[in-house]
């Protein structure tokens, strides 16, 4: 698609100023794009590796920028690699699955977005990724708060596993955000060193003053997302530790209660056992022997119950 002069239309394949968006492309599709653009096939294959780390790689035919973008999968969150390939004529994005970072640009809602402004296009993607991280981080915080409230009334395994899943999502987010930050800082260093205006890098990443302002905004948003991720991770870990202590404490209380009840119930059994022996016992011939046995058992049980109560075993 092309957005030059505010028009959105389907241009010929690899037309100058085009944006080619590949979602989980086949081998044949990647080979076709590689032949048409002149970029190495590896540039198209790297972003399809789920474990690919963010980085910048230069080649005579273009530059490859890989970042990790967030995706929501039901109640959990993850990150996937997104490759942005910039040549002298086109911009190519490659991702193993569709994601809101690119979808929003493709919808035409983004302001000041033009595919022929390649560096601005790259910065818009970075900015959208940082904003999406912030959005998902707030969602994670709201979900964890809801689970915390549920755990106050019930300590089922499901809620604990949900908290664990959110904690894993936060770890993925903060790790990806820090890796993205390295890419952003490298782009800023290229600009400050003057290498975006000439040389091999400058052929593909040409940055102007307004682009630097956008890049600084991107870095600021990314740093804010990192800080939020660290804060939410700390809160979630504290919550998990607190509920682990509560569960352990509840177990101790239950065990203490059951122990006290067992001791109290053993008293009547012990007294009755004495009078069940086939030996001479005091008062065994009395018509009130059974009643006396019950009274003694009751008195001992009441006395032990009062003692345990004073020691807060109930």
Which of 211, 232, 249 finishes a domain?
249
What are 69's strand-pairing partners? 80
Same domain assignment for residues 245 and 258: no
Decide which of 11 and 194 is more confident.
194
Same domain assignment for residues 214 and 286: no
The one-character DSSP state at 2 is B
Residue 82 belongs to domain spanning: 4-249
Which of 197, 228, 249 finishes a domain?
249
What total number of domains does the chain contain? Answer: 2
Question: Binning pLDDT at 50, 70 and 90, where does residue 179 land?
Answer: very high
CA-angle at 233, arms to 230 and 239, nearest 5°: 145
Question: Binning pLDDT at 50, 70 and 90, where does residue 10 land?
Answer: very low
User: What average pLDDT score do residues 132-157 get?
Assistant: 86
Same domain assignment for residues 100 and 244: yes
Q: How many CB atoms sit inside 10 A of residue 82's CB?
A: 25
CA distances from 56 to 39, 48, 65, 180, 187 (A): 15, 15, 5, 10, 9
The one-character DSSP state at 184 is H
Chain centroid, CA 237 distance in Å: 13
What backbone phi and psi angles, to 5 degrees, belong to 241?
-65, -40
Question: Binning pLDDT at 50, 70 and 90, where does residue 61 land?
Answer: confident
The pLDDT value given to residue 83: 94
Decide which of 195 and 290 is more confident.
290
Query: Helix (H, G, I), strand (E, B), or coil: what is residue 202?
Result: helix
Residue 201 confidence (pLDDT) above 90: no
Q: How many CB atoms sit inside 10 A of residue 307's CB?
A: 11
pLDDT (tens digit, 9 = 90+) per residue, 107-125? Answer: 665 565 566 677 888 888 9
Same domain assignment for residues 237 and 204: yes
Same domain assignment for residues 285 and 239: no
Residue 75 confidence (pLDDT) above 50: yes
The pLDDT value given to residue 241: 85
Ranked by mean pLDDT, the top range of 43-47, 105-109, 120-124, 266-270 is: 43-47
Same domain assignment for residues 274 and 222: no
Share of the chain above pLDDT 70, in %: 81
The pLDDT value given to residue 299: 85
User: What average pLDDT score do residues 87-99 get?
Assistant: 89
Same domain assignment for residues 290 and 212: no
Mean pLDDT of the residues in the chain: 82
pLDDT (tens digit, 9 = 90+) per residue, 275-294? Answer: 666 666 676 677 777 777 77
The pLDDT value given to residue 308: 79
User: What average pLDDT score do residues 168-178 get?
Assistant: 94
Closest residue by Cα to residue 50 from 73, 31, 34, 33: 73
Same domain assignment for residues 16 and 122: yes
pLDDT (tens digit, 9 = 90+) per residue, 12-41? Answer: 456 677 888 899 999 999 998 888 888 899
Same domain assignment for residues 257 and 218: no
DSSP 207-265: --HHHHHHHHHHHHHHHHHHHHHHHHHHHHHHHHHHHHHHHHHHHHHHHHHHHHHHHHH
Residue 102 confidence (pLDDT) above 50: yes
Which of 230, 249, 268 finishes a domain?
249
Same domain assignment for residues 177 and 81: yes
What are 72's strand-pairing partners? 77
Same domain assignment for residues 62 and 91: yes
Q: What is the CATH number of the domain that holds 181?
A: 3.30.460.20
User: What average pLDDT score do residues 117-146 get?
Assistant: 90
Same domain assignment for residues 28 and 135: yes
Residue 86 confidence (pLDDT) above 70: yes
């Amino acid at each position: 698609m092309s957005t030059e002069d505010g028009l959105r239309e389907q241009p010929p394949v690899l037309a100058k100023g085009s944006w080619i968006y590949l979602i989980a492309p086949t081998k044949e599709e990647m080979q076709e794009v590689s032949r048409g653009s002149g970029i190495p096939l590896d540039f198209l294959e790297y972003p399809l590796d789920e474990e690919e780390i963010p980085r910048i790689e230069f080649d005579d035919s273009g530059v490859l920028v890989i970042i990790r973008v967030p995706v929501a999968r039901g109640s959990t969150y993850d990150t996937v690699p997104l490759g942005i390939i910039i040549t002298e004529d086109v911009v190519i994005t490659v991702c193993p699955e569709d994601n809101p970072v690119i979808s929003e640009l493709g919808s035409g809602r983004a302001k000041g977005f033009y595919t022929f402004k390649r560096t601005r296009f790259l910065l818009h993607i970075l900015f959208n990724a940082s904003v999406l991280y912030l959005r998902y981080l707030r969602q994670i915080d709201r979900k964890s708060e809801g689970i915390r409230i549920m755990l106050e009334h019930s300590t089922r395994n499901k809620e604990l596993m949900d908290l664990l899943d959110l904690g894993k999502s936060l770890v993925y987010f903060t790790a990806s955000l820090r890796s993205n930050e390295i890419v952003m800082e490298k782009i800023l260093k290229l600009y400050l060193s003057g290498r975006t205006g000439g040389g091999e890098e400058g052929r593909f990443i040409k940055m102007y003053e307004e682009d630097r302002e956008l890049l600084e905004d991107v870095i600021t948003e990314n740093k804010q997302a990192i800080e939020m991720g660290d804060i939410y991770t700390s809160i979630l870990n504290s919550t998990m530790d607190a509920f682990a202590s509560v569960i352990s404490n509840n177990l101790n209380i239950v065990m203490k209660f059951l122990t006290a009840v067992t001791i109290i119930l053993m008293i009547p059994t012990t007294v009755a056992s004495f009078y069940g022996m086939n030996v001479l016992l005091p008062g065994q011939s009395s018509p009130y022997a059974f009643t006396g046995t019950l009274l003694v058992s009751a008195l001992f049980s009441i006395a032990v119950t009062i003692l345990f109560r004073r020691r807060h075993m109930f």
